[in-house]
């Protein structure tokens, strides 16, 4: 299938790291009197579109909130469908990621997923580990509060062992213990579907990120919508607490 070129940007300010809370699959399906799985399938198509568009636009890292640690509360059938779609995505997209030089990263407590899925993820990460291009980060079984707590516990253990002076703990030392430590700082976080909350996603990393909430449901989010979001980013003045 031919990939349409991403729209050209008027602004030269392209964020290095963009994160997206992909919301609205269920509502997309409901509006069309379809089962929720139909919305999730279209959501996967949106992932393909946006990951390709992000590469064309020069974004270095794209982090997608695919499955939160709270999503286990959803019906068992829906969770099973989501995991099945993840398997299909890895199977169908891996060769393209490799050919495009994309490095795949997965954050969250994803090793608690089913063994066959963990093996697929391990293989995909290993096969793309040396790729020189942009990074696609998938957040699976992820919760920002758990990530922050884990980093704090590791530092506490070092202090208890006598290998770390508490006075040496600063922002940089703490960030080094987060799962996004070697990624560019988060510049822009987008949430689709009109909801305006972070839902336990990249809470530390979003401290000075630009936030953008759009009404578009995730399955309808396309290259033009991403380009428009980046245009808005380019018009904002980022002061980072200064004047």
Q: Is residue 121's pLDDT more than 50? A: yes
For residue range 31-55, what is the model confidence (pLDDT) as tens digits?
999 999 999 999 999 999 999 999 9
The answer to whether 218 is annotated as binding is no
CA distance 134 to 128: 11
Confidence of residue 7 (pLDDT cuts 50, 70, 90): low
The answer to whether 36 is annotated as binding is yes
The answer to whether 131 is annotated as binding is no
Confidence of residue 239 (pLDDT cuts 50, 70, 90): confident
CA distance 77 to 91: 21
- Do residues 213 and 196 touch, judged by C-beta distance below 8 A? yes
Q: Share the mean pLDDT of the chain.
A: 93
User: What are the structural domains, with CATH classification, of the chain?
Assistant: 17-143+186-234 (3.40.1180.10)
Active site residues: 23, 71
Q: What is the mean pLDDT of residues 164-180?
A: 96
Confidence of residue 2 (pLDDT cuts 50, 70, 90): very low
* Residue 90, burial from CB neighbour count under 10 angstroms (0-12, 13-18, 19+): middle
Q: At what angle do helices 76-99 and 36-57 cross, to 10 degrees?
A: 30
Q: Is residue 157's pLDDT more than 90? A: yes
- Do residues 233 and 212 touch, judged by C-beta distance below 8 A? yes
Q: What is the pLDDT of residue 119?
A: 97
Confidence of residue 1 (pLDDT cuts 50, 70, 90): very low
pTM of the model: 0.92
The answer to whether 99 is annotated as binding is no
Q: What is the pLDDT of residue 83?
A: 95
The answer to whether 210 is annotated as binding is yes
For residue range 195-206, what is the model confidence (pLDDT) as tens digits?
999 999 999 999
Q: Is residue 60's pLDDT more than 90? A: yes
Confidence of residue 3 (pLDDT cuts 50, 70, 90): very low
Q: What is the mean pLDDT of residues 135-149?
A: 98
Strands (E), the chain: 17-21, 61-68, 103-107, 135-142, 188-191, 210-213
The answer to whether 188 is annotated as binding is no
CA distance 242 to 187: 17
Q: What is the pLDDT of residue 238?
A: 76
The answer to whether 116 is annotated as binding is no
Q: Is residue 9's pLDDT more than 50? A: yes
For residue range 13-32, what is the model confidence (pLDDT) as tens digits?
899 999 999 999 999 999 99
């Amino acid at each position: 299938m031919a990939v349409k070129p991403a729209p050209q940007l008027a602004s030269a300010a392209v964020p290095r790291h963009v994160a997206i809370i992909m919301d609205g699959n269920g509502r997309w399906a409901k509006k069309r009197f379809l089962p929720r799985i139909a919305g999730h399938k279209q959501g996967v198509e949106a992932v393909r579109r946006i990951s390709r568009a992000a590469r064309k636009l020069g974004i270095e890292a794209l982090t997608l909130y695919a499955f939160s640690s709270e999503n286990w509360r959803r019906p068992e059938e829906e969770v099973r469908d989501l995991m099945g779609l993840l398997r299909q995505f890895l199977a169908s997209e891996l060769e393209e990621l490799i050919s495009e030089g994309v490095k795949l990263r997965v954050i969250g407590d994803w090793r608690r997923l089913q063994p066959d899925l963990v093996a697929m993820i391990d293989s995909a990460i290993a096969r793309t580990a040396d790729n020189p291009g942009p990074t696609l980060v998938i957040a699976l079984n992820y919760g920002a509060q758990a990530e922050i707590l884990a980093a704090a516990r590791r530092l506490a253990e070092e202090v208890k062992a006598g290998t770390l002076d508490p006075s040496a703990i600063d922002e940089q030392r703490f960030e080094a213990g987060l799962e996004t430590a070697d990624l560019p700082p988060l510049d822009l976080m987008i949430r689709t579907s009109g909801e305006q909350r972070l839902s336990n996603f990249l809470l530390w990393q979003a401290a000075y990120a630009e936030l953008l909430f759009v009404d578009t449901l995730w399955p309808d989010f396309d290259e033009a919508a991403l380009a428009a979001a980046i245009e808005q980013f380019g018009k904002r003045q980022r002061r980072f607490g200064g004047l």
